[in-house]
Amino acid sequence: MTAEQDGVRIRRATPEDCEFLVELLTHEGVDPYLAVVRPRGRERVLAEIERSHTEPEEFGRFVIEVDADGSWRAAGAMGFEIANRRSRIANLGGLAVHPDFRGRRLADTAARLLQRHLLDDLGYHRLQLEIYGFNERAIRHAERAGFVREGVRRKAYRRGDTWVDGVLFGLVREDLEDGRAS
Ligand SMILES: CC(C)(COP(=O)(O)OP(=O)(O)OC[C@H]1O[C@@H](n2cnc3c(N)ncnc32)[C@H](O)[C@@H]1OP(=O)(O)O)[C@@H](O)C(=O)NCCC(=O)NCCS
């Protein structure tokens, strides 16, 4: 699967992307913002890439690329996992843009591409994600990308020696059909 818009594309990660993904996920500008339990090491990242190919409708690991004078350069990552089969809900997660590529709002375009793929191609009805309360940049991104803020899990997660909120966002098919988030 590959989808492209405005010089940004997303495609399923392959084993050749493993080195880039490990470097990205362990970068000091990325690591503190992702869930502590998210895989960052080579073996587990490779296992995720494999699952993304063996269970493509239920699990996905994608590389975000930018058009750099005619060739595509890896700039970030994102993913999803099925949360509820009957109600066709997917959890989104693992979004990161490498600090060298920040500030161009690549994540907004990439999020729109992934939303379309999940709703139109894979038939999901609801997409949901959760962002640490202190991650204001990601919260602004989610709002720009059309996700609707649905609530807060107060002091839900322990980071170091403090408890931090999880801010919940969701997008349902009807949001795009109504044109509110298109
Ligand atoms: C969230 C994230 C994916 C957004 O990346 P992005 O598409 O580059 O987002 P933006 O282009 O909006 O850049 C982020 C902000 O930095 C500003 N900025 C501008 N130039 C910048 C630069 N060179 N470097 C960093 N930030 C810059 C932007 O203006 C923007 O500010 P705003 O939110 O007030 O508009 C990215 O910040 C990231 O990878 N963060 C770490 C991981 C993370 O938080 N993931 C989400 C977990 S839920």
Which DSSP string do the residues of 52-70 spell out, in sequence order?
Answer: HHHSTTTEEEEEEEEEETT
What is the percent of the chain with per-residue pLDDT over 70, rounded to a whole number? 98
Q: For residue 94, report the distance from its CA to the centre of ligand 1, in Å.
A: 14
Nearest of 167, 171, 164 to residue 36 by alpha carbon: 164
pLDDT surpasses 50 at 165: yes
Chain segment 42-55, per-residue pLDDT in tens: 999 999 999 999 99
121-124 CB contacts, 8 Å cutoff, 24+ apart: 121/1, 122/57, 122/90, 123/88, 124/88, 124/89, 124/90, 124/173
pLDDT the model gives residue 19: 97
Site to substitute for ligand 1 among 98, 102, 106, 109, most atoms within 8 A of C-beta = 102
User: Can you tell me whether residue 137 is helix, strand or coil?
Assistant: helix
Q: Which of 31, 34, 65, 97 to mutate to test the pocket of ligand 1 (most atoms within 8 A of CB)?
A: 97
What atom in ligand 1 is closest to the CA of residue 102? 8
Is residue 182 pLDDT above 90, yes or no? no
pLDDT over 90 (residue 34)? yes
Q: Which of 3.40.630.30, 1.10.1200.10, 2.30.30.180, 3.90.650.10 would CATH assign to domain 2-177?
A: 3.40.630.30
Q: What is the pTM of this model?
A: 0.93
pLDDT digits (tens, 9 = 90+) for 118-159: 999 999 999 999 999 999 999 999 999 999 999 999 999 999
Residue 54 CA to ligand 1 centre (angstroms): 32
How large is the average pLDDT for residues 80-101? 98
Ligand 1 environment, Cβ below 6 A = 30, 33-34, 95-97, 102-108, 131, 135, 137-138, 140-141
- Residue that has been written with the tokens 């202190």 in this structure: 134
Using DSSP's 3-state secondary structure scheme, residue 81 falls into: strand
Tokens at 75, concatenated: 């700039």
Decide: residue 109, CB within 10 A, 0-12 exposed, 13-18 middle, 19+ buried.
buried
Quote the CA–CA distance of 156 and 136 in Å, as a whole number.
Answer: 17
